[in-house]
Structure 1
Amino acid sequence: MDTYQGLRAAVVGGSIGGLTGALLLRELGFTVDVYERTPTLLENRGGGIVLQPTTMKWFGERSARRIEELSTVTRHVRHLGGDNEVVHDDAVEWRYSSWSTIYRALLDDFGTDHYHLGEFCAGFDQDADGVTLRFVSGRTETADLVVFADGITSTARRRLFPDLVRHYSGYVGWRGTVPEGEVSEETRRLLGEALTYSVAPGTHIVLYPIPGPDGEIEEGRRLLNYVWYRNVPDGPRLHELTTDLRGFECPVSVHPGQVQQRFVDEMRSAAAAQLAPAAAEAVIRTRQPYMQVVFDTRIPAMADGRVAVIGDAAFAARPHAAAGTAKAADDAWTLYEHLRASDGDIPTALKHWEPAQLRLGNQLIDRVARMGHRSQVEGTWTPGDPDLRFGLYGPGV
């Protein structure tokens, strides 16, 4: 396409959503630069990703990499009882990858010549002709289009809507991975062939296999990944729990190796008491568990002139629908489609793109809030309930 030849696009945030957007904008003819705040490549960040269709679309339609070489697969959704007995089993196929595996593949496709590390965007201005970005390094850049994909602490969110607040869910997600080779044969069998749940009063855990540290997908070389939801009241108890080993409070997440040991010890003891033995073994054997504060974040607008806000920078949804990366990818693909269909009028294309994405984000957060309330408050998270299935657009889709 040549509609956007000679125009510049800047993407603020070089994670999975930002890279997907950058690749698609480049296909439209833009000269695209990505600005990532961290000083080094984003390796070994986060854990597993459930690969929904929108997340896989780039690899199915554009990339030389095949999703099969980047992912693991299970063909059952399974609930375990207190003695590892299977209390429910559905024949449902899901694919998974790791954050690092998908990030590396997207960055390989984009390249590093226009991928700028250590550039934190602190502010911006715009007029009818373009957007000016200001970075803490002293750098300034101008672009015809700016896409903010800079996550839940987004500069665009803070500048456009300074009074917006995150809404804490009442619980945190303990996360981690353990190599398959470091758990018992029974645990490896139960967790390696299914998306697995263990449910107890006021808590639940979900586990699945993901590629190993270097992208290994062979059985026995993969990682078992989990998210375990535990209720923590807001206030002093949460603040203490989210204070890391440096003494800094971390309102979003406490990274691997930074969780206070006393909380890790308590978490492991609770796993043995509350979870199915296979799930408990995965938790207990994790060397460096980490913790995510679970909250809902909404935004009233995703387009402002020549600025678009996508992914977690716009809507940060609880993980229950496994739709965070899928929502970011959907934002990027639909933005691409609206820009492609326009006559080069960027502000108009963004305004036409925005309404459906706002509806989707609000619907997703409404749904995951209901899912979380059922498991953590009501105690009505029942095995096999179709309303509890993963999906960006709805349960199972």
Structure 2
Amino acid sequence: MSEYPHASAIVVGGSIGGLTAALLLRDLGFAVDVYERTATPLDGRGGGIVLQPDTVRWFAERSSRDLADLHTATSHVQYLDRDGTVVHREAARWTYTSWGTFYRALLADFGTEHYHYGEYACGFSQDDDLATVRFVSGRSASADLVVFADGITSAARQRFDPDAKLSYSGYIGWRGTVAQSALTPATRDVLHDAITYDLVPNSHITMYPIPGEEGLDEAHRLINYVWYRNVPDGPELTEMLIDKRGFSGSVSIHPGQVQDRYVDEMRSAAAELFAPAVAEVVVNTETPYLQVLSDVRSTRMALGRVALIGDAACASRPHAAAGTAKAAADAWTLATALAETTGDIPSALAKWEPAQLQLSDSLLRRVVDMGERSQFTNTWDPADPDLRFGLYGPGL
């Protein structure tokens, strides 16, 4: 029997974390509506996700879809030096998906009847009975529960914690994908069964294979990467974040919009710094894009009958590959708290909040340390187990 058969919920943000929350709330009996600010279906820019247990739990436990149809896998972690020699290699199985592949699978499970595009939430209020979300379109919607999963630029975060502001890390991430089939046989052989790192002074890159738009097989896979490069805060970063249209980005510059001179310099630097296989991937990326790597953490995630989850509550550098897993974990633990505190939504949220705040604090501290070691102190040791992926700790 549903725990909340007559209750309603609004989820603000229709990405992976928001959809996971919406699906779990619907399973509890809530009538759920999702409001997504983007006017068209999301595409994720082709980026990759390292899958962790919380991320895939919906498909492992609740969905009729086969998780094996959504991911690629590798069996090793390896580090290369400038001439392509493997300087460290260890057995470690990881699975990966593309953002678009995973999003579309979640959306297919939720459906589109109650998924509303083009609605930008700008504020909320609440009383003893309902919470009301206001949208820039002039629309408003009310429900028994509201979950904000609206990402790193969340419009709601300031109401939870006025002091929670983005803090720039001191470096950006160059991101991109290349069709595995477009690479030379030698490069495919080096990269195909490993997540690959290449460390250089004050920088590093990591890459791995993800599903392509047309499938998981070798012929359609993409090699996805993130290259961390230091850029001082101030005029240099500001200039870099002006796109080809003359608009300034705060968190990213989309594919095809990064100024050509920066792309040219990026390709040239990759050819000079990296192992041949790694350099080949970067140099052959048609439309690389930029992500500004910043941290933010709200000291509150629950206000009455309104919750803040995922990057909206805590966004951190991706070194632990745990951002998507954290959003999913927030959703699963919220659903558990609601199930255990039937009928009293504010009490359930108050019960849920402390452990998730502690988890976000632990994750943020760990990835900041990882970034410092790779980008500034040059103390990233490939054999150090503390540098492994994981939401709850290295390898966990």
Aligned counterpart, 1:175:
175
**Could you tell me how far 1:158 is from its partner in structure 2?**
2.8
Aligned counterpart, 2:18:
18
AA aligned to 2:296 is: T
Q: Distance in 1 between matches of 2:144 and 2:276?
A: 55
Q: Distance in 2 between matches of 1:334 and 1:160?
A: 19
Aligned counterpart, 2:145:
145
Q: How high is the TM-score relative to the length of structure 1?
A: 0.98
**Could you tell me how far 1:64 is from its partner in structure 2?**
1.1
Q: Does 1:363 align with 2:362?
A: yes
Q: Does 1:383 align with 2:382?
A: yes
Q: Distance in 1 between matches of 2:186 and 2:142?
A: 57
State how 1:220-235 maps to structure 2 within 5 Å.
220-235=219-234
Aligned counterpart, 2:51:
51
Q: Distance in 1 between matches of 2:160 and 2:380?
A: 38
Q: Does 1:327 align with 2:326?
A: yes
3-state SS of 1:327 partner: helix
3-state SS of 1:151 partner: coil
Moved more, 178-187 or 1-10: 1-10
Q: Distance in 2 between matches of 1:44 and 1:295?
A: 19
**Could you tell me how far 1:46 is from its partner in structure 2?**
4.7
AA aligned to 1:197 is: Y
- Preserved CA contact (<8 Å) 2:223 2:281: yes
Count of aligned positions:
396
Aligned counterpart, 1:288:
287
Q: Distance in 2 between matches of 1:56 and 1:108?
A: 15
- 1:37-90 CA-to-partner distances (Å, cap 9, x unmatched) read 011111253500000011010000011111111000000000011111111110
AA aligned to 1:3 is: E
- 1:335-376 CA-to-partner distances (Å, cap 9, x unmatched) read 000001112100000000000000000100000000000000
Aligned counterpart, 1:106:
106
Q: Does 1:393 align with 2:395?
A: no
Identity of aligned residues (%): 62
3-state SS of 1:286 partner: coil
Aligned counterpart, 2:164:
164
Q: Does 1:85 align with 2:85?
A: yes
Q: Distance in 2 between matches of 1:46 and 1:305?
A: 37
Structure 2 residues not aligned, in runs of 5+: none
Q: Distance in 1 between matches of 2:159 and 2:335?
A: 24
Aligned counterpart, 1:251:
250
- Preserved CA contact (<8 Å) 2:181 2:218: no
- Preserved CA contact (<8 Å) 2:302 2:349: yes
Q: Distance in 1 between matches of 2:240 and 2:366?
A: 27
AA aligned to 1:184 is: T
Q: Distance in 1 between matches of 2:328 and 2:283?
A: 34
Aligned counterpart, 1:315:
314
Moved more, 240-249 or 301-310: 240-249
**Could you tell me how far 1:162 is from its partner in structure 2?**
3.5
3-state SS of 1:244 partner: coil
Structure 1 residues not aligned, in runs of 5+: none
3-state SS of 1:64 partner: coil
- Preserved CA contact (<8 Å) 1:21 1:333: yes
**Could you tell me how far 1:16 is from its partner in structure 2?**
0.2
3-state SS of 2:45 partner: coil
Q: Distance in 2 between matches of 1:363 and 1:241?
A: 31
- 1:151-199 CA-to-partner distances (Å, cap 9, x unmatched) read 0111110333344311111100000000011111111111111000000
Q: How high is the TM-score relative to the length of structure 2?
A: 0.99
- Preserved CA contact (<8 Å) 1:44 1:213: no
AA aligned to 2:210 is: I
Q: Distance in 2 between matches of 1:297 and 1:352?
A: 23
- 1:80-116 CA-to-partner distances (Å, cap 9, x unmatched) read 1111111111010000000000000000000000000
Q: CA RMSD in A?
A: 0.9
AA aligned to 2:135 is: F
Q: Does 1:125 align with 2:125?
A: yes
Q: Distance in 2 between matches of 1:186 and 1:88?
A: 19
- Preserved CA contact (<8 Å) 2:133 2:140: yes
Aligned counterpart, 1:298:
297
**Could you tell me how far 1:266 is from its partner in structure 2?**
0.4
AA aligned to 2:99 is: W
AA aligned to 1:352 is: K
Q: Does 1:263 align with 2:249?
A: no
Q: Distance in 1 between matches of 2:2 and 2:256?
A: 48
Q: Distance in 2 between matches of 1:43 and 1:298?
A: 26
